[in-house]
């Protein structure tokens, strides 16, 4: 399966708008976390960056989407898809 094919599958796991919104909130919190770590020179905390989005994303899946997060099967591709979906939401390719 190519990454493009996986992304199409990933989008099927994110059909509920509130699930997508929770992902967006998690992505923005991740960005804020990175900025905060850099501004405070607390670089060791940057190791936690990949995990900031999970409470938001998993709430979206378990509460709104009622499915299993893609990160359970392909964590690296799912993380990359999170950012691609955020980009697609920002440019209007995926509904907000």
pLDDT digits (tens, 9 = 90+) for 55-81: 999 999 999 999 999 999 999 999 999
Please tell me the pTM assigned to this model.
0.91
Give, in order, the Cα–Cα distances in Å from 34 to each of 21, 49, 63.
Answer: 20, 7, 27
> Are 69 and 75 contacting, i.e. CB atoms less than 8 angstroms apart?
no
Give the separation between CA 50 and CA 27, rounded to whole angstroms: 10
pLDDT of residue 96: 85
Per-residue pLDDT for the chain (96 aa), expressed as one digit of tens each? 999 999 999 999 999 999 999 999 999 999 999 999 999 999 999 999 999 999 999 999 999 999 999 999 999 999 999 999 999 999 999 998
């Amino acid at each position: 399966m190519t990454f493009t094919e996986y992304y199409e599958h990933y989008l099927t796991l994110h059909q509920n708008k509130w699930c997508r919104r929770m992902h967006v909130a998690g992505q923005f919190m991740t960005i804020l976390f990175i900025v905060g770590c850099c501004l405070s020179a607390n670089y060791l905390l940057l190791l936690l960056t990949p995990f900031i989005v999970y409470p938001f994303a998993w709430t979206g899946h378990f509460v709104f989407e009622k499915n299993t997060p893609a990160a359970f099967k392909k964590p690296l591709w799912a993380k990359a898809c999170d950012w691609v979906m955020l980009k697609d939401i920002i440019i209007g390719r995926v509904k907000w």
